[in-house]
Amino acid sequence: MTTVKVANKIIVNNIPKDLKDFIKEELYVDNPEYINRVKLKKWIGNTPKHILLYETDKERIILPYGFIDRLERFLSVNDIKFHIEKENNSVPIKITEKKPLSLYNYQEKAVNEMMKYNNGILVSPAGSGKTRMAMEMISRRGEKTLWLTNNLSLLRQSKRVFETFFGNRAGEISGGKINIQDVTFATVQTLSKVNLNDYRNTFGMIIVDEVHRVVGGPTKAMQFYKILSSLNTKYKYGVTATLFAKKNDMSVVPVYTVGEVRHTVLRKEIEIMTAKHIMYALYTPPSEIYLNSDRTIDYNKLINYLATDINRNVDILVNLLNCEHRHNLVLSNRNKQLEILSDMLESYNIKHHILIGPTKEADRDKATKDFTSGKVRFLLSNYQLAKEGLDFPIADTLHFVSPMRDKKTIIQSAGRVERIYEGKTDSLIYDYVDVNIGMIKNMYWDRRRSLNARE
């Protein structure tokens, strides 16, 4: 009989050949570093072609925790006799609420579905209140929880939300410092560097915020895998706005380490204010500056050229001034451009804040307070933060001041201005398009198709 022990990992003994073949076929991912080296004709060296998500020895195979459902299905369908023993750790705590989370119907439905399982992923669109849903899961489970995230900005934002609604102590693991409390907020980067064996049974639940983001590359994916496979908790959940899990691709790592997608909130279920997507034509002239010697376009040089072109930024400023009465999020993929636009707004005595990764905590708090209260009408930030770190329901106007081609980023950025908010009557997306540059114009149409294709 095949025996299965489930704790922080899955240990399988007495493995028939067909099960072993199934595991080897499923639990590997193509190494993007290897693929890039081959594509660029670089020396491969010891770079592995595949990354294995399982371990073997003579008598057993060790699998990631999230693979349990697929393992059980295979064993059942193939009439393999098996016995499962679960040794997951529970650490009950008393949750003290300051004020109710007051979930919408679709949020209540989502949480109810997630509570049917001990693990898995919740997929819900940007602006749908994923953080509140996850907080409600903490409240219902009543377990000492590790809240795992990809970056410090998202960590601080989630921690503030928790402290708003709950009276329990909130700890933090970041910047090399460890402070564990009832609910502890941690970054993948810091937690992966500590001796995880010391914390194997510290928590009863893990929630991974924006779970798709923690596998941005092989190194981060393995950090994530190490953490989730080292901590023995009864409950493991992930939340995300977008999850495109593809077999044998890095994108499937969250599923194998956390669990299957248990519930998906559709856009049509949530009360949102779909933004009107407006092309704002710019007539920036083409240039030799961003061309390679073979006349092909160097994308990074092109973006730098557009971000720093003074006439282009003046044209953008004109429309920003026309939107002075609105609540504006201005997004660029170059911080230099944000600084240029900031100087221009300053020259017109327009109050605004820049919010980027290096922004100090005190300045970040002030920017958040000023923009949320309406005291400041312009918040300048980058696409990286827009994907997961900007939560301002008051925002009604989004400005794409530099081109972006990543589908996930576009969809999540748009969601930042589509939240319902008292007094908000519409939402707009101004997409600044350099119509004289074919590549930039084509990227605009890709963005338009991505936004129109949302459910």
What percent of the chain lies above the pLDDT cut of 90? 62
The pLDDT-based confidence of 389 (bands split at 50, 70, 90) is low
Q: Of 258, 262, 252, 261, which is closest to residue 27 (Cα–Cα)?
A: 252
Q: What is the pLDDT of residue 140?
A: 96
AA letter at 20: K
Domain ranges for the chain, please list them. 2-86, 105-269, 276-452
Q: How is domain 2-86 classified at the CATH fold level?
A: Translation Initiation Factor Eif1 (3.30.780)
pLDDT digits (tens, 9 = 90+) for 282-314: 999 999 999 999 999 999 999 999 999 999 999
Q: What is the CATH number that goes with domain 276-452?
A: 3.40.50.300
Q: By three-state DSSP, how is residue 379 classified?
A: strand
Cα angle 83, 88, 89 (rounded to 5 degrees) comes to 155
Phi and psi at residue 13, in whole multiples of 5°?
-115, 160
Query: For residue 104, what pLDDT is reported?
Result: 84
What is the average per-residue pLDDT within 80-104?
A: 92
Report yes or no: 357 and 380 within 8 Å, Cβ to Cβ: no
Residue 8: exposure state from Cβ atoms within 10 A (0-12, 13-18, ≥19)? buried
In angstroms, rounded to a whole number, what is the distance separating the alpha carbons of residues 26 and 46?
23
pLDDT of residue 387: 67
Confidence at residue 112, expressed as pLDDT on a 0 to 100 scale: 97
Rounded to whole angstroms, the Cα distance separating 233 from 65 reads 10
Q: Mean pLDDT throughout 313-342?
A: 96
CA atoms within 13 A on the CB side of 94: 1
Look at residue 350 and tell me whether its pLDDT is greater than 90: yes
For CA atoms 404, 408, 412, 415, the dihedral sign is positive
Decide if pLDDT at 99 tops 90.
no
pLDDT of residue 214: 66
Distance CA 296, CA 301 (A): 11
Q: Which of 228, 372, 347 is nearest to 355 (CA)?
A: 372
Tell me the pLDDT band of 338, cut-offs 50, 70 and 90. Answer: very high
Q: What average pLDDT does range 192-205 have in this prediction?
A: 93
Predicted local distance difference test score (pLDDT) of residue 292:
93
Cβ contact 327:396 at 8 Å: yes
Which tens digits make up the pLDDT trace of 180-191? 999 999 988 888
d(C-alpha 446, C-alpha 453), whole Å: 11
| Residues contacting residue 57 through CB under 8 Å, at least 6 positions apart | none
Q: How many CB atoms lie within 10 A of CB 42?
A: 11
pLDDT of residue 455: 52
Closest CA to 305 of 295, 315, 292, 290: 290
pLDDT for residue 171 is more than 70: yes
Mean pLDDT along residues 131-157: 92
How many contiguous H segments (helices) and E segments (strands) does the chain have? 16, 21
Q: Between 99 and 77, name the one with better pLDDT.
A: 77
User: Phi first, then psi: what are they for 400, rounded to 5°?
Assistant: -85, 90
Average pLDDT over residues 263-273: 83
Label residue 222 by pLDDT band (50, 70, 90). Answer: confident
The answer to whether residue 388 scores a pLDDT higher than 70 is: no
The CATH architecture one would assign to domain 105-269 is: 3-Layer(aba) Sandwich (3.40)
Q: Which amino acid is at 239?
A: V
**Structure-token pair, residue 50:** 């595949």
- Cα gap 313→172, rounded to integer Å: 40
Q: Which residues make beta-bridge pairs with 180?
A: none
Query: Model confidence at 407, in pLDDT bands (50, 70, 90)?
Result: confident
Average pLDDT, whole number, for the chain? Answer: 90
| Digit-coded pLDDT (tens) for 6-56 | 999 999 999 999 999 999 999 988 887 888 888 888 898 888 888 888 898
On the question of pLDDT at 150 being above 70, the answer is yes
pLDDT tens per residue, range 118-142: 999 999 987 788 999 999 999 999 9
Instruction: Write the DSSP assignment of 176-243 as a string of letters.
Output: TEEE--SEEEEEHHHHTTS-GGGGTTT-SEEEEETGGGGGSSHHHHHHHHHHHHH---SEEEEEES--
Which helix H or strand E contains 206, and what residues bound it?
strand 205-209
Q: Which residues of 219-228 are buried (b: 16+ CB within 10 A; e: fewer)?
A: ebbebbbebb
Percent pLDDT > 70 in the chain is 98
**Domains 105-269 and 276-452 equal at CATH topology level:** yes
Whether the predicted pLDDT of 147 surpasses 90 = yes
pLDDT of residue 427: 94
HEC secondary structure over 107-135:
HHHHHHHHCCCCEEEEECCCCCCHHHHHH
Output the pLDDT for position 83.
94
pLDDT at 216: 64
Residue 32 burial (10 A CB sphere; 0-12, 13-18, 19+): middle
